[in-house]
Structure 1
Amino acid sequence: MTSVVIVGAGPTGIVAATLLARYHVDCLVLDRWPEVYRQPRAVHLDDEIHRILSDLGVAEGFAAISRPAAGLQLLDADLKVLARFTREPVGKHGFPQANMFDQPQLEDLLRTNLARYPQARLRTNVEVTGFTRHAHDRIRVAFVDRATGATEHVEADYLLGCDGANSVVRRKLGVAMTDMRFKQRWLVADIRSTVDLQQWDGVHQVCDPVRAATYMRIGDDRYRWEFRLLPNESVADYSTLEKLQQLIAPWVGAATDLELVRVAEYTFRAAIAQRWRVGNVFLLGDAAHLTPPFIGQGMGAGVRDAVNLCWKLAAVIAGDLPEQILDSYPQERKPHARTLIRVALAMGWAMTAGRGFGAAMRRVLLPCLAQVPPLRLRLLEGVTPPLRSSMLVHRSRRRRSLAGTLCPNAVQSEGFTLVSTTPLSRGVHVELTRRGTTVLVVEPHSELGRWLGAGRASAAIIRPDHVVMRSGTDVVKLCRLVPSSAGLVSRPSRAGRPSHRRCR
């Protein structure tokens, strides 16, 4: 028996398991593959996800295997720059705004970190075949050991489907995907070279309705190209370096020190699951949403799912919050994911749509859009929108309300945090601490003080996932509204050590 079974040991599943283990929630991860899939896939994470990796204790490890990117530039079919959006080496979350990496290396890092926690177990080379609801609403999961053929069962209070686009969990639930009307075949090629290609050190996106393309440097000696395939083409047409040469020549020039790591064909799709929660079964990551890769947010969306859900699960299991609070997971994450999919589709349109008049409009509009301050700021600071109102996000009608946004990288806590520019009475401070709340009184001109002021607030309630639950000027009222997180902060965490709270 275990509290949570997680199906799928990709980044979403392993992050979910690590978060639960940090709250001392027993969990079992089941994955059909015997080891990490070694082929490159995702290559980009933003500073928000980098901060999450820091919370998990792998920031230094990730920095060692990643490379900050300079930003994004949009090119026309002749590789003339239409617009450029630069990224900062340190963003508002305290880390590089754009990070390039190799997914298998990140998965190795995450699995090594998970092994530190006795509360989490990982079973590989097993295939989930089904699940049923059992006594007292527990889930009974059936899986087959692929090495022996033996069928095993495990019971759990909750089941998380983190098993990708072809999710078994979603299929067994009978949950349909809503097609967002985007489907394109693309060629993806990874090349290793010790030669510096002398290209701008960011992502190059070629806006061409005939042959849209993307180029990026993902490591000291690793490069990625993506090309939209023509209707009569397949990966077989570009299976060798010689065949690829005609496509990559504008970037590699006469360089000959090139090694083809892999070439593959992918179908980029946009879709979202109609239901993300069915009783005590939840869908996360690609099982819940499919995002085209044009803004590099596919893997990050799955990590956000895990971060949003797992502290709530832990709080329910600890008795801090009622179970209906788990409805806030789809309430918050589904609109957020849908918004990012639409942003990705807009970028895909800019890259691939329209010939003739459409191409002319693109040449005129894209350079202008890059100069619009709100749009440029949105792209520079990331595409993450605020969460919508829910049981754990109370947004007001006031402009610039902080509720639903992320707190800057100055607060870290296992439970809720109250940030205030107004000192609290000793009695209120003691009561909040007793309920597991971190109390942080800051100067009005400090980083957090200025952040509160920009949101027209003197205090804010910060959730364990860094999201602002409420903000306002009535500090006494806010103190009364902070939920209890005593059960969360009193449990051992961080590989069995007692939990602690800190700010930086």
Structure 2
Amino acid sequence: MSGAPVVVVGAGPVGLTAALLLAGRGLRVVVLERQAAPYPLPRAVHLDDEVFRVLQAAGVADEVAAACRPMAGLRALDGAHRVLAEFRRAPGAGSNGWPQGSLVHQPDLEAVLAGAVSAAPVIDLHRGVEVTGLAQDGGGVTVRATDRATGADRSVRAAAVLGCDGANSSVRGLMGARMRDLGPADRWLVVDARSAEPLPIWPGVHQVCDPRRAATFMPVTGDRYRWEFRLAPGETAAELAEPARLAALLAPVVPADRVEVDRAVEYTFRAQVADRWRDGRVLLAGDAAHLTPPFVGQGLGLGLRDVHQLAWKLTAVLRGEAGDDLLDTYQAEREPHARALIRVALLLGVLMTGGGRSGAVARRAVLAAVRRIPAVARLATDSRTPPLRRGPLVDRRGRAGRRLAGTLVPQPDVLVDGRRCRLDDVLGDGEAQLSADLEVRRADGTSVRVEDPSGTLRRWLGAATSVRIRPDRIVAAARS
């Protein structure tokens, strides 16, 4: 393995999580962030139970959870804010060991991640540094960078580069990748506000299915609340943010004098995927690789899943345990999931907000039927990673393989020598094998037998005699 560090460009949640995951595998990491200070205002607000397993792998899940609030689910409302349908999420831990959905104030999340990064001796974080060039050769990548305050050269030699630098990624531009549209752009006014007194609203996400003015509102954490309003063609955020108009928009939920507005800004939500996620040892993750509409709350979740997978694959390559062709499987495995969730977000956007007046009438009837069909209703709240297709790292042969390979192993609480712990912590950070008698064989050669008080693992295994689990907790193969 090269002695050069991995350079992560971007110190948002995806970049900081990537740094922690790589450091946890023994790699040196340098994080370069263009901005001089963390962004102080909220952006992403939703984390699901799968991505909490990524944060668990990064060592920060419990601290992040303490800053979150479980999300009750989704309510679809008509233009008069009457409930059309309700899709609940269980408040307790689900099959992944964490609440199905949690709401978070992104600066709180970033503060936890930044604290963990500062405590990691193998991670160096440099803010106010702009990446201006990348030059690859057989030994690695030279990252040309400049201190934005002083103009000093901050270039660094890297074993690999991860572009986690957001929708306007400089790394994506430097590697010559382009974004491809999967659907039209959508302009919204986003309003973040605070209330000294708790507002009497249901503790979930409310989707206003009004084609005249589609909207979303939700309590976030503590005294924080968010509203989003779709902008009409030719309309500007500044117009809607005028006090009288903003008060009218908030009125169905709360009088405007009950809240203090932190900001009211325009966001353009896009549905896009980059045509290339890799150029040699330069790779993209998060918003640099894909952008999604907001309807399933997966913009951040997709990026955290990206780096969970990328961390173990890149480590294997840099340690000489695998060839560079392992990195070819990154986009091959992650892009279909990103595309699938983007399509779901586009579909839900049309179903919940499109169609004009006739669409509103039809929507009431459709939602009444949908909420009685569990498999369809799950679309509104379910962000599970779809099973990976058969490929070099997924063996779907046999009945057990076809059922389990490519899926995430569940994470119930298990007992080890009478001590309760989470399954992922027992599996370790490498590949592991789980047998029908509940023996875990880890990558370091050790083995341990677990007890399954809830019976979750036994039910999930079914007739399988053993499963091989990848470091990202996806089943590589299952045997009957």
TM-score where L is the length of structure 2: 0.91
2:106 is matched with: 103
Alpha-carbon contact 2:344-2:379 (below 8 Å) kept = no
Q: What is the distance in 2 between the residues matched to 1:205 and 1:451?
A: 34
Alpha-carbon contact 1:45-1:100 (below 8 Å) kept = yes
Alpha-carbon contact 1:443-1:449 (below 8 Å) kept = no
2:71 is matched with: 69
1:420 is matched with: 435
1:387 Cα deviation (Å)?
2.1
2:417 is matched with: none
1:439 Cα deviation (Å)?
4.0
CA distance 1:341–1:143, shift in 2 (3 Å): same
Alpha-carbon contact 2:166-2:287 (below 8 Å) kept = yes
Q: Deviations over 1:246-303 (max 9, x none)?
A: 0010000x47331111110011110000111111111100110001111110001000
1:488 is matched with: none
Q: Does 1:127 align with 2:125?
A: no
2:416 is matched with: none
Q: What is the distance in 2 between the residues matched to 1:36 and 1:267?
A: 21
CA distance 1:91–1:443, shift in 2 (3 Å): closer
Matched to 1:351, the amino acid is M
Matched to 2:478, the amino acid is S
1:115 is matched with: 118
Q: What is the distance in 1 between the residues matched to 2:128 and 2:265?
A: 24
1:76 Cα deviation (Å)?
1.6
Give the secondary structure class of the aligned counterpart of 1:225.
strand
Alpha-carbon contact 1:392-1:469 (below 8 Å) kept = yes
Gaps of 5+ in 2: 412-422
Q: Does 1:32 align with 2:34?
A: yes
Within the candidate set 191, 194, 215, 1:192 is matched to: 194
2:360 is matched with: 359
Q: What is the distance in 1 between the residues matched to 2:178 and 2:247?
A: 41
Q: What is the distance in 1 between the residues matched to 2:129 and 2:64?
A: 28
Gaps of 5+ in 1: 474-504
Within the candidate set 438, 449, 474, 2:458 is matched to: 449
2:419 is matched with: none
Alpha-carbon contact 2:178-2:275 (below 8 Å) kept = yes
RMSD between superposed Cα atoms in Å = 2.0
Give the secondary structure class of the aligned counterpart of 1:99.
strand
Give the secondary structure class of the aligned counterpart of 1:401.
helix
CA distance 1:208–1:438, shift in 2 (3 Å): farther
Q: Deviations over 1:148-196 (max 9, x none)?
A: 1112321112111111111111111111111112211100001100223
1:364 Cα deviation (Å)?
1.1
2:408 is matched with: 406
CA distance 1:199–1:443, shift in 2 (3 Å): closer
Matches within 5 A, 1:458-473: 458-473=465-480
Matched to 2:270, the amino acid is R
1:383 Cα deviation (Å)?
3.7
CA distance 1:158–1:143, shift in 2 (3 Å): same
2:168 is matched with: 166
Q: What is the distance in 1 between the residues matched to 2:389 and 2:12?
A: 27
Matched to 1:448, the amino acid is L
CA distance 1:379–1:229, shift in 2 (3 Å): closer
Give the secondary structure class of the aligned counterpart of 2:30.
strand
1:233 is matched with: 235
Give the secondary structure class of the aligned counterpart of 2:444.
coil
Q: What is the distance in 1 between the residues matched to 2:163 and 2:256?
A: 45
CA distance 1:437–1:417, shift in 2 (3 Å): farther
Q: Deviations over 1:452-503 (max 9, x none)?
A: 11xx422111111111111121xxxxxxxxxxxxxxxxxxxxxxxxxxxxxx
1:450 Cα deviation (Å)?
1.6
1:112 Cα deviation (Å)?
0.5
1:373 Cα deviation (Å)?
2.1
Q: What is the distance in 2 between the residues matched to 1:385 and 1:100?
A: 23
Q: Deviations over 1:69-106 (max 9, x none)?
A: 11101112222212111111221111111111111111
Name which of structure 1's ranges 403-412 and 378-387 shifts more when overlaid on structure 2: 378-387
Alpha-carbon contact 1:128-1:168 (below 8 Å) kept = yes
CA distance 1:37–1:75, shift in 2 (3 Å): same
CA distance 1:81–1:438, shift in 2 (3 Å): farther
Matched to 1:139, the amino acid is V
Matched to 2:365, the amino acid is V
CA distance 1:146–1:209, shift in 2 (3 Å): same
1:3 Cα deviation (Å)?
2.9
Alpha-carbon contact 1:421-1:441 (below 8 Å) kept = no
Matched to 1:461, the amino acid is R
Matches within 5 A, 1:184-333: 184-252=186-254, 254=255, 256-333=257-334
Matched to 1:193, the amino acid is S
Q: Does 1:85 align with 2:96?
A: no
Q: What is the distance in 1 between the residues matched to 2:391 and 2:297?
A: 27
1:63 Cα deviation (Å)?
2.2
Name which of structure 1's ranges 86-95 and 123-132 shifts more when overlaid on structure 2: 86-95
Q: What is the distance in 2 between the residues matched to 1:365 and 1:437?
A: 54
1:392 Cα deviation (Å)?
1.5
Give the secondary structure class of the aligned counterpart of 1:236.
helix
CA distance 1:222–1:422, shift in 2 (3 Å): closer
Alpha-carbon contact 1:420-1:442 (below 8 Å) kept = no
| Percent of aligned pairs with the same amino acid | 48
Alpha-carbon contact 1:2-1:28 (below 8 Å) kept = no
Q: What is the distance in 1 between the residues matched to 2:405 and 2:447?
A: 18
CA distance 1:222–1:391, shift in 2 (3 Å): same
Q: What is the distance in 2 between the residues matched to 1:323 and 1:57?
A: 28
Alpha-carbon contact 1:178-1:272 (below 8 Å) kept = yes
Matched to 1:457, the amino acid is A
Matched to 2:339, the amino acid is R
Alpha-carbon contact 2:75-2:84 (below 8 Å) kept = yes
Name which of structure 1's ranges 444-453 and 230-239 shifts more when overlaid on structure 2: 444-453
CA distance 1:466–1:132, shift in 2 (3 Å): same
